[in-house]
Amino acid sequence: MSLLITSSRSVLRQVKSYSVFQCPAIHEGNLSSVLRTLYRQSSTFCVGLPCCRSSCWSWQCDLQSSRHIGLWSSHQNTPTLKTVTDVAKFIKERATNVLVMVGAGISTPSGIPDFRTPGTGLYDNLQKYNLPYPEAIFDIHFFMMDPRPFFALAQDLYPGVNYKPNVVHHFLRLLYEEEKLQMVYTQNIDGLERLAGIPDTKLMEAHGTFATASCTLCGKMHNSNKVKQAIIEGDIPMCEATNCKGKVKPDIVFFGENLPPSFWDYHQHIHFTDLLLIIGTSLEVYPFAGIADAVGTQTPRVLINLNAVGSLGRRTTDVILTGDLEESVHSLVRELGWEEKLKALEKVYENIVG
């Protein structure tokens, strides 16, 4: 009789439903042990397993475990990290799944203002658009009434038009090249992570992207290059579908719109995360900020930011590196011994864009 095993996502959801007190046989970091324990304690975990074929189940447990070698995160004997040197050593010697959260702070060195800094932030400098309130420029209901303010802003923000990746973006690409990167979760809509070469499979643009565009009424996808050209030329792109008069916009997530469904995959990613790296974000916007608190309490969390934010500093495994972001990243790169590799990546990018 064939054995049907639930997907790895279901495994993880099932794992979360048991505590170490209920399942003392589960050894952290041993997926085979988890699978075996779940079988013993849950009649719904598998379908079609004959009682007399427990050896078959054991074989399947070991097989599923072997498929996840290097992914199932074990935090036993996690060292205490205190300095940038400690962080670099952990990344080089132990980390294989570094989950990265980034915000507007990583783009300010590229010349893009953040949103909330008093005086210089984007929301404090929108007077020319005559908005009823600053956030209206990203409000889907206001956009439907008057899309001109957003499109005027988009002319300046479009990736590759006025801004280019900086050392932080290239460092993220280097993590990928060194096979250390699990995923980059970004709040940014400027697309600089893409321009730096982070592939789609490793990038979650939580607040949307300029890379695709669709109709705000019927949802029809449109050629993003044509939409970009129309916006750059000052036009309002309209839907090409028959009998639809909707406005087309880049797939930026506005207030009043849902986040991309794949955003919630972080609930699965965090079970395999062995280091959380948080760079340039205030951790004020939810649900994005919730990722920082969702990782396991024994998972090291490293904050690189101008100042401490969120709950960082409350766990013994937290490391806070405050100060200038570019200088902090350069310091980490030096400790990693990746300076020449970073320079090579930056040179490759410059050669591509001319």
Spatial separation of the C-alpha atoms in residues 12 and 199, rounded to whole Å: 25
Q: Which two tokens stand for residue 241?
A: 């579908």
Residue 208 phi/psi, 5-degree rounding, is 100, -175
Rounded to the nearest 10°, the torsion over CA 259, 183, 200, 335 is 130
Q: Which two tokens stand for residue 296?
A: 């396991």
* DSSP reduced 3-state for 113: coil
Q: Is 267 one of the annotated active-site residues of the chain?
A: no
> CA 236: distance to chain centroid?
31
What angle is formed at CA 142 by the lines to CA 141 and CA 144, rounded to 5 degrees? 65
Q: Which two tokens stand for residue 223?
A: 């050629």
Q: What is the β-pairing status of strands 98-102 and 301-305?
A: unpaired
Amino acid occupying residue 347: K
Judge whether 266 and 291 are in contact, CB under 8 Å: yes
The catalytic position among 75, 141, 170, 207 is 207
Where b means 16+ CB within 10 Å and e means fewer, 156-182 reads ebbbeeebbbbbbbbbbbbbbbeebbb
**CA-wise closest residue to 61 among 24, 26, 34:** 34
Judge whether 315 and 309 are in contact, CB under 8 Å: no
17 burial via Cβ count (<10 Å: 0-12, 13-18, 19+): exposed
Supply the residues annotated as catalytic.
Answer: 207
